[in-house]
A and B are shown apart, each in its own frame.
Chain A
Amino acid sequence: MTVNTSRRGFLKSAAAAAAVLYIGARPNGALAAGAAPAQLNPFVRIDTSGTVTAIIKHFETGQGPATGLSTLIAEELGAALEQVQYEFAPSDPQLFNNLAFGPFQGTGGSTAMANSFMQYRQAGAAAREMLIAAAAQSWDTDPSALVIENGIIKGAGRTAPMGEFVAAAAQMEAPAEPRLKEPGEFRLIGNTAVRRKDSLIKTNGSAKFAMDVHLPNQMVVVIARSPRMGGSAAGIDDSSAKSVKGFIRAAILPNKAGVAVYAENTWAAFQAREALSVDWDFSAAETRSSDQIREELLAAVNSAPQYNVNGADQAATAALIDSADTVLDRTFYFPLLAHAPMEPLTCTIEATEDGGVLLHDGCQMPTVPHMAVAEILQLPQEKIRVNTMLAGGSFGRRATPTSDYQAEAAMAFALTDRSRPVKLVWSREDDITGGYYRPAVAHRVRVGLDAEGSITGWDHRIAAQSILKGTFFESVLVHDGVDATSVEGVADSDYRIPGMFVGLTDTAKATTVLWWRSVGHTHTGYVMETMIDEAARIAGRDPVNYRLAMLEGGSKHQDRLATVLKLAAEKAGWGKATEGRSQGIAVHKSFGSYVAEVVEISGTAEEGVRIEKITCAVDCGIPVNPDVIKAQMEGGIGYGIGHAMRDQITLTGGEVDQFNFPDYEPLRIGDIGAIEVHIVPSAEAPTGVGEPGTPPSAPALANAIAVSGPRITELPMSENGVSFA
């Protein structure tokens, strides 16, 4: 490591670091000026009192990056986790990009920890080496004699708080390759006693979400949207709205997709919207009902597929199945689903003194609204700032490629003289009827079984509306016409399946569709795991052993799937359910993580099923914050189970039938008796935890119900022959 105190050296290193960052390689450099508090690199700022601030490039919606990335900094720096506070990074796709996404800042695909693990450790380690170098220079000693523990620099017979050396360290060039700890040296990573950093503020009412923004002189805007998808506003009559105290005005948005209703406060905005009369033009609007969409999807999986996904010989697969001893033939249908995050969508835009704007938002992908707001307000990119706030849930909803709600706010702001901040608020009804849904999907699967019940051929066809086509993600994630998110979990299955053919058909646009916690795995995991379970039952073999036999092949994926399968079975007491109870199991890989779940139920489909206990085993590589991982499994399971039990979005004549929680009923506390999570120890790189808990949950429940009840091939279960106690 070199010590460089010249201004020229600083500029040179900062420029070099920025260039490295842009191409997504090691980003550990960019030094700030010597004034305290000093930002030692993009991810760590330390002030002279020794307070460390971790700058979190991912948004926090409960999945834990504020705690997780702070843990990485504290671990390598040598600070106590309590000494580290966190703040969310500004919008800057060069400095704060997601390494899994290229020069793009955003959270998704359960990548927050996976892409940050080395980056934030290196940032913490670089800060440690710079502080130690500064202390060594001051003390005229060898840096190798010094360590930092709990923020105190120690060695060579001396101790001093690290804050004393912040100013000197900030003049140094960052080390090219700071030494990282060996796993055996970890004291925070993997420590089950580490607690969340956001528990207290979320328990005493002080946590600030975007919904909590109150700027002086702000207006609240709600949007009147077309009751039928795709309709446009042709005219308005606000004479009744004018009698609502606090109503300011109403104006058709430039894209005609809605009418902005401006008011002095939220309640007045809602009241004025009720009173507003809008003339809607439905000439280009959706007119279909979800029954028709369902029929179109089912017809598609019963026709020749549009794409051959895995390059297999379909005729050969058909021959294998047709000559099998037994043919298992199932058709599945999955309905549209809303995300319904607990905090309804909202954001606030205010003008800044430099002629730009500041967006306050629980912002999942800052790069997208940054560009959209700049375009709508006709401002240069550098005039847009994003204040990322805590988000009250997302499950995919805040990550729209169109930045739909931020764009609405920008359009509403653009229709004003920009002197007053504009806070856009969605109601729950806006959210449920808002038209961004997990696509409806159909599968048809034909499986041939030999006399022993082993699989001889597998013909798998999927039909869905593509999530990615027509978005800027298309160039990255659509290959040869195949939207990877429509077939993930089937096309990349790790089961040894001979003669497997996978086909896909894109269906015409029905609604605006969007990823929903675990994306394609929400339906592919269900189909794979219920089909294999049924094959095992037909074969008269134990579903765990049957799966294990299909995972013999020696690949790392197969071994890790087998490990979680066995662990979940062992911890659940597989095969030893008490009288009156049934168990179902499922295992699935998604987002680089391996999860198996056993669902134990009592009751019957006819008289009422009760979910008594769910046992989960997860392998997500090095478990950074074990308790956060457990929480994400608990939450992912609940999200999957709740929707499979009783949720769907349906359309009648292009209008959404559901309106709020009473008819899009969330999972409730009594729905699941207990959840137990076991984490597989691992030295592999960390992988995702936000989504992988979801895919096995619904098929494990379905498999438990099928032990003495029907095979459920269409969701939600409550509409398809299952009652719940």
Chain B
Amino acid sequence: MAISLKLNGQTHQVEAEPGTPLLWVIRDELKLTGTKFGCGVASCGACTVHLNGEPVRSCQTYIEDLEGAEITTIEKISESRIGQAVQAAWVELDVVQCGYCQSGQIMSAVGLLSENPKPSAEEIDDYMNGNACRCATYQRIRAAILRASEIMEA
């Protein structure tokens, strides 16, 4: 099927079979590789993108449901004020280790701060529960979200 996909402010004409996950359209067709494949079953969050401003797992989001939707990936998240604050906090605290999950972590963190600009540590843990990091950078993820919240206030 042919679909017109609005992604990072641009419209792309994409040809894909119904049932194709958005993840593989983003990675294999549009060649935007910041969005990662980690589990394919919405259990790790590495593939998180924003759909109409809300974080979703792109491995379980199907192409036929996306006509007219606005999608944002890690490559353009710095264009939002919250995205900038999160990325700045991530770099300031050197959150990353292998880095493979971090696009998804950041997309979820931006989702959290969009809903709740001043989350508590407990609220962070609840919201970020679905984003796995096998390097266990969690202490710094929590600290960086709190720091991003401060940056946003300044």
Contact = CB atoms under 8 A, between A and B. Distances in A.
Interface of A: 61-64, 195-196, 198-209, 211-212, 214, 220, 245, 265-267, 270, 340-344, 390-393, 395, 427-429, 627-628, 631-632, 634-635, 637-639, 642, 660-662, 666-672, 674-675
Contact of B139 (A203, A391, A427, A672): A672
B134 A666 contact: yes
Nearest to B141: A669
Contacts of A342: 36, 38, 44, 46, 98, 100-101, 132-135
B113 interface: no
Contact of A634 (B38, B46, B139): B139
Interface in B23-60: 24, 27-29, 31-41, 43-44, 46
Given A266-B28, A341-B98, 8 more contacts: A62-B96, A196-B94, A205-B32, A214-B33, A642-B136, A661-B43, A669-B133, A669-B141
A265 B97 contact: no
A670 B74 contact: no
Contact of B34 (A205, A266, A667, A674): A205
Given A199-B91, A205-B103, A662-B41, A265 B24 contact: yes
Contacts of B129: 668-670
A270 B21 CA distance: 12
Interface in B107-154: 124-126, 128-129, 131-142
B78 interface: yes
B34 A427 contact: no
Given A214-B31, A266-B28, A209 B100 contact: yes
A207 B136 contact: no
A668 B44 CA distance: 10
Nearest to B88: A203
B95 interface: yes
B140 A204 contact: no
Interface in B66-85: 73-75, 78
Residue among A204, A209, A211, A214 with most chain B CB within 10 A: A204
Contacts of B40: 270, 427-429, 660
Nearest to B98: A62
A628 B135 CA distance: 13
Given A199-B91, A631-B97, A661-B44, A341 B134 contact: yes
27 contacts: A61-B97, A61-B98, A62-B98, A62-B135, A195-B94, A198-B96, A199-B96, A201-B99, A203-B87, A204-B34, A205-B35, A209-B33, A214-B33, A220-B28, A266-B24, A266-B27, A267-B20, A267-B24, A393-B135, A395-B134, A428-B38, A428-B39, A661-B39, A661-B43, A666-B134, A669-B138, A669-B141
Nearest to B16: A267
Residue among B134, B139, B142 with most chain A CB within 10 A: B134
A266 B29 CA distance: 10
Given A205-B34, A205-B73, A631 B137 contact: yes
Closest 6 CB pairs of A and B: A205-B34, A638-B136, A62-B97, A392-B100, A202-B99, A62-B98
A295 B73 CA distance: 50
A342 B97 CA distance: 11
Contacts of A391: 98
Tell me whether chain A's interface is mostly helix, strand or loop, or mixed.
loop
A266 B43 contact: no
A672 B129 CA distance: 12
Contacts of A265: 24, 28-29
B99 A207 contact: yes
B135 A668 contact: no
B17 interface: yes
Nearest to A340: B134
Contacts of B73: 205
A439 to B, nearest CB: 20
Contacts of A628: 94
Nearest to A339: B134
A617 B22 CA distance: 45
Contacts of A245: 17
A675 B143 CA distance: 11
A278 B8 CA distance: 42
A392 B51 CA distance: 26
B5 interface: no
B105 to A, nearest CB: 9
A635 B131 contact: no
A231 B34 CA distance: 37
A391 B135 CA distance: 12
Nearest to A211: B37
A267 B28 CA distance: 9
A207 B103 CA distance: 10
A199 to B, nearest CB: 5
Contact of B74 (A64, A204, A343, A390): A204
B28 to A, nearest CB: 4
Contact of B132 (A202, A209, A343, A668): A668
A642 B24 CA distance: 30
A666 B132 contact: yes
Contact of A203 (B17, B90, B125, B128): B90
A634 B41 contact: no
A5 B28 CA distance: 52
A659 B106 CA distance: 27
A153 to B, nearest CB: 31
Nearest to B76: A205
A207 B46 CA distance: 14
A428 to B, nearest CB: 4
Given A195-B94, A661-B43, A666-B132, A631 B31 contact: no
B78 A204 contact: yes
B36 A211 contact: yes
Contacts of A634: 136-137, 139-140
A208 B24 contact: no
Nearest to B99: A202
A204 B87 contact: yes
Given A206-B34, A660-B43, A669-B142, A635 B136 contact: yes
A200 B88 CA distance: 9
A597 B2 CA distance: 57
Interface string B1-27: 000000000000000010011001001
B24 A393 contact: no
B135 A669 contact: no
A638 B138 contact: yes
Contact of B21 (A207, A267, A671): A267
A675 B136 CA distance: 11
Contacts of A201: 99
